Structure 1
Amino acid sequence: MATDVSVLGHGTVEAGKRQSKEEKECCKVGPGYATPLDAMSGPRESLIYVTCVYTGTGIEKPDYLATVDVDPNSPTYSKVIHRLPVPYLGDELHHSGWNSCSSCHGDPSAERRFLIVPSLISGRIYVADTKTDPKAPALHKVVHSEEIIQKTGLAYPHTSHCLASGDLLVSCLGDKDGNASGNGFLLLDSQFNVKGRWEKPGHSPLFGYDFWYQPRHKTMISSSWGAPAAFTKGFNPQDVSDGLYGRHLYVYSWPGGELKQTLDLGSTGLLPLEIRFLHDPSKDTGFVGCALTSNMVRFFKNPGDSWSHEVAISVKPLKVQNWILPEMPGLITDFLISLDDRFLYFVNWLHGDVRQYNIEDPKNPKLTGQVWTGGLIQKGSPILAEGEDGKTWQFDVPEVQGHKLRGGPQMIQLSLDGKRLYVTNSLFSTWDHQFYPDLLKKGSHMLQIDVDTKKGSLAINPNFFVDFGAEPDGPSLAHEMRYPGGDCTSDIWV
Structure 2
Amino acid sequence: MTMRPDPTFYASPKLAMEAAPENFAYTLLLSPDFSQPDALAVIDVKPGSPTFSQVVHTVTMPHKGDEFHHFGWNACSSALSPLTGHAFVERRNLIIPGIRSSRIYIVDTKPDPTKAKIHKIIEPEEVMKKTGYSRPHTVHCGPEGIYVSTLGGGGKDGTDGPPGIFIMDCETFDILGRWEIDRGPQNLHYDFWWNLPRDYMVTSEWGLPPQFENGVVAEDLLSNKYGHQIHFWDLRARRNVQTIDLGANHQMALEVRPAHDPVREYGFLGVVVDSTNLEGSIWTWWREGGQFHIEKTATIPPEAAPKDQLPPLLQGFGAVPPLVTDIDLSMDDRFLYVSCWGTGEMRQYDVTDPRKPKLAGSVRVGGIARRTPHPSGKAYAGGPQMVEISRDGKRVYWTNSLYSTWDNQFYPDGVPGAQVMANASPSGGLALAKDYWVSFPDGYRAHQIRLEGGDCSTDSFCYPSV
TM-score normalised by length of structure 1: 0.86
Which position in structure 2 is the counterpart of 1:227? 208
Alignment of 1:91-240 (within 5 A): 91-105=66-80, 107-165=86-144, 167-175=145-153, 176=155, 177-179=157-159, 181-190=161-170, 191-200=172-181, 203=184, 205-240=186-221
1:130 partner amino acid? T
With over 3 angstroms needed to count, the CA separation of the structure-2 counterparts of 1:316 and 1:242, relative to structure 1, is closer
Structure 1: runs of 5+ lacking an equivalent: 1-23, 380-396
Which position in structure 1 is the counterpart of 2:294? 309
Residue 354 of structure 2 is aligned to residue 362 of structure 1: yes
Contact 1:400 1:465 in 2 (8 A): no
Contact 2:196 2:460 in 1 (8 A): no
Shift of 1:207: 0.6
Which position in structure 2 is the counterpart of 1:437? 412
Which position in structure 2 is the counterpart of 1:50? 27
Shift of 1:445: 0.8
CA RMSD, 1 decimal:
1.8
Shift of 1:319: 3.1
Contact 1:151 1:194 in 2 (8 A): yes
Which position in structure 2 is the counterpart of 1:413? 388
Which position in structure 2 is the counterpart of 1:9? none
1:334 partner amino acid? D
1:297 partner amino acid? W
Contact 2:106 2:120 in 1 (8 A): yes
Structure 2: runs of 5+ lacking an equivalent: 275-279
Structure 2 residue matching 1:362: 3-state secondary structure = coil
Cα distance between partner residues in 1 of 2:452 and 2:216:
34
Alignment of 1:468-483 (within 5 A): 468=440, 471=441, 474-483=442-451
Which one has the largest radius of gyration? 1
Deviations 1:312-352 (A, max 9, x none): 11001223331323133201001111101111111100011
Cα distance between partner residues in 1 of 2:169 and 2:368:
43
With over 3 angstroms needed to count, the CA separation of the structure-2 counterparts of 1:315 and 1:193, relative to structure 1, is same
1:133 partner amino acid? D
Cα distance between partner residues in 2 of 1:218 and 1:30:
25
Contact 2:224 2:249 in 1 (8 A): no
Which position in structure 1 is the counterpart of 2:277? none
Cα distance between partner residues in 1 of 2:223 and 2:159:
14
Q: Of residues 305, 325, 338 in structure 1, which corresponds to 2:330?
A: 338
Answer 1 or 2: which has greater helix percent: 1
Which position in structure 2 is the counterpart of 1:289? 270
Contact 1:227 1:244 in 2 (8 A): no
Contact 1:153 1:182 in 2 (8 A): no
Q: Of residues 454, 460, 467 in structure 1, which corresponds to 2:439?
A: 467
Shift of 1:42: 1.1
Shift of 1:135: 1.8
Contact 1:30 1:104 in 2 (8 A): no
Q: What is the count of residue pairs matched by the alignment? A: 442
Cα distance between partner residues in 2 of 1:242 and 1:349:
22
Cα distance between partner residues in 2 of 1:431 and 1:319:
21
TM-score normalised by length of structure 2: 0.91
Cα distance between partner residues in 2 of 1:28 and 1:232:
41
Contact 2:6 2:90 in 1 (8 A): no
Cα distance between partner residues in 1 of 2:377 and 2:297:
38
Cα distance between partner residues in 2 of 1:437 and 1:75:
35
Cα distance between partner residues in 2 of 1:217 and 1:70:
35
1:298 partner amino acid? T
Percent identity of paired positions between Structure 1 and Structure 2? 38
Q: Which moved more, 1:397-406 or 1:258-267?
A: 397-406
Deviations 1:417-469 (A, max 9, x none): 111111100000111111112335xx111111111112x1111111111112x
